[in-house]
Amino acid sequence: MLSTQRLCLGLALVWLSACEQQTQQTPHTPEKVVQYANQLERVKKTGILTVLTRYDPTTYYEGANGFSGLEYDLVQLFAQHLQVKTHFIIPDTFAAILQKTQAGDADFAAAGISITEERKQKFLFTPAYHKVTEQVIYRSGIKQPRKISDLANGILEIVKGTSHAESLLTLQQKTPELQWLTNDSLDTDGLLYLLNERLIDYTIADSNQITLIRRFYPKLNVAFNISPARYLAWAFRKSDDLSLYNEAVVFFNNIKNNKALEQLLERHYGHTRNIKYVGNCTFRLHLQSHLPQYQAMLEHAADKYAFDWRLLAAISYQESHWNKDAVSPTGVKGLMMLTQATASQLGVKDRTDPKESIFGGALYLKQRLKKIPARIPEPDRT
């Protein structure tokens, strides 16, 4: 019995000794923490620029050809300047964007943020890249409000955390009857939808937002402005480390001087100068009644000549409003409004035949594009 106990004790000691040796042979090495001299160095060394933004036609959205939006394009230009890639964070609410910026959850926020005195206490702003005004929006079918006190006659709802609340608080001092609701789950686009559906009576939107979104809601109108001009800029949290912020300031000065900013603004907002209420309503009507009968032809022509079919659809609408029998005073005819000479050159025998006109127009566009210098990229090329 004793010998058995000694044997077990000996085996246990051998096992413990082996474990101790194994532990000694593979010591734990803590993960090495990488230290960077400053924020700019970290971004360049990691190769990632992390940016807070929001889904909105004025900032960041996914279109037919990938992501787009003024803020998206500006951030991509800045990333090219730094020679890094981008990573976007999309919080659920506008208020969360400001909170996360202050908390340092990203390098900065590019979300259509207007510079206000209150925000300047919390953030560092880059040079402004766009000017907007805050506007009261209402729907056709109700009496247009013409002054602040008129808003007390209906339901006014705004997005929580925006500068719109600051403006309304200032106005409320002279108009105590002014009241409003704040929504912490919807953005401006969502409130404009509610307004269009007659679920609220008024909301506030920045002028650039209503300019772009009104094409989807042609019955929404601007009543009046409630603020002077405000300026949009990127927001950085206040910190002793100004390395990335200073680089952003240099970047904005550069794109203002070389006209790159002007070109971006023209790309995103230039087309809106020609949008009128009646034309927009007519377009929506034609979209339902005219386009379906030609869509398959447009898609086939687009496949043949390597175009987005919507480009051909847009061209044909601009030319003829999708009217196959359209004739201009100068004699051009058909969906693509081809001249007799151009039609002959393209082999189009009947300009009023929708298929011939569409395929002829697509071929003509292809020929014209070949004459544009290769140095001009998309989307400016088309």
Residue 185 backbone dihedrals phi, psi, to 5 degrees: -120, -20
Q: How many CA atoms lie within 13 A of 373 on its CB side?
A: 2
Active site residues: 319
Cα 185–chain centre separation? 19
CB-CB neighbours of 307 under 10 Å:
19
Among 262, 258, 260, 279, smallest CA distance to 270 is for 262
Among 273, 277, 179, smallest CA distance to 222 is for 277
| CB within 8 Å of 76: residues ≥ 6 apart | 86
Which amino acid, one-letter code, is at 310?
R
| Ordered strands of the 134-139 beta sheet | 203-206, 134-139, 220-225
Length of the chain: 382
Among 370, 327, 363, smallest CA distance to 348 is for 363
What is the C-alpha separation between 51 and 113, in angstroms, rounded? 13
DSSP for 92-124 reads: SSHHHHHHHHHHTSSSEEEEEEEP-HHHHTTEE
Bridge partner residues of 113 (DSSP): 233
